[in-house]
Amino acid sequence: MRVLISGGSGFLGRALTARLRGDGAQVAWASRDPSRQAPEGVEVLTYDRLRPEDRFDAVVNLAGAGIAEKRWSYRRKKLLIQSRLGPTRALVEWMRRGRERPRVLLSGSAVGWYGAQGDTPLTEGSSAAEDFSHSLCEAWESAAMEAVSLEVPVLLLRTGIALHPAGGMLKRLLPPFRMGLGARLGDGSQVLSWISRRDWVEAVRSLLLQHLDGTRSAPVGPVNVTAPEPVTNAQFTRALAHALRRPAGLALPAPVLRLGLGEMSTLLLEGQRVLPERLQQSGFVFRHPQLNPYLDTALAR
């Protein structure tokens, strides 16, 4: 099995690379940076070095700048869009020129596709609310869906907040929470659709293998890659504080967050209750369906 991963050096890409290589797969990374440090045995290909004769059984497209890393200035929004659309279009164009096309494309997206919809349960058949997060994910998904015209099945991985102490949101929150400075955001009622990094990796691997094995019921189109039990921000704050055995009685008022972060504050103050309907229908079983036991295990001393 040969798998090409764009964004392989990221928080999720590295974990997926390790899991697939553990299966005996040959993994290569597609990157804009030819000097990208990859694990030994993983070749790094720039997008312009992908040749028509290069053959991969599957492509996993995860490339994109972090949406929550900086305030959304005009320049930052442009980078968020270009860092997703550029690699996706390059991969589809390579497939168009290819002598043998991959058997499946799993392309990144996010629960932000649904926009801010409060506590409304959302499945893959739900409609979206218009905001920047939706527009960004919609453009990213549309670029990936161009591969359908090449007879390449496309899965759109609408990923929730992936949690693991080694990276992402959880890593950034650990220092203040360990100092007893954990805080609820706003009124804490906004819903967080999350997933453990291990379950994310296993879900993507499961979806990939279903297509390579020729499973007739393998899903295509959007798939929500989230745990089946979303939580509110207040619940998350309490769970993390409990796992660390620290207090978390503070609160950051919504006006302060809006003033400091501008439009990006919507990521923290608004949410969506996204449910993994199609993933569960595919037979996937979660190792970590509930937040509290996951954090207690992941952060056990």
| Each residue's pLDDT tens digit, 135-177 | 999 999 999 999 999 999 999 999 999 999 999 999 999 999 9
Q: How confident is the model at residue 301 (pLDDT cuts 50, 70, 90)?
A: low
pLDDT at 98 over 80: yes
pLDDT at 122: 98
Instruction: Compute the distance between CA of residue 159 and CA of residue 136 in angstroms, rounded to an integer.
Output: 14
C-beta separation of 122 from 274 below 8 A: yes
- Tell me the two tokens of residue 41: 């045995």
Please check the confidence at residue 128 and state whether its pLDDT lies above 90.
Answer: yes
pLDDT tens digit sequence for 209-251:
999 998 888 999 999 999 999 999 999 999 999 999 999 999 9
Sequence-distant (6+) residues with CB within 8 A of 157 are 106, 107, 108, 109, 204, 223, 225
**Position 132, amino acid:** F
The pLDDT value given to residue 189:
96
Q: Are 24 and 212 in contact (CB under 8 A)?
A: no
Number of domains in the chain: 1
At 26, the pLDDT band (50, 70, 90 cuts) reads very high
Domain harbouring 237, CATH code: 3.40.50.720
Place of tokens 């597609």: 30
Task: Calculate the average pLDDT of the chain.
Answer: 96
Residue range 33-74, pLDDT digits in tens = 888 889 999 999 999 889 999 999 999 999 999 999 899 999
H helices present in the chain, as ranges: 11-22, 74-97, 132-145, 168-178, 197-212, 233-244, 254-261, 266-269, 277-281, 291-298
pLDDT at 283 over 90: yes
What is the domain extent for residue 74? 2-298
- The alpha carbon of 176 is separated from its chain's Cα centroid by a whole number of angstroms, namely 24
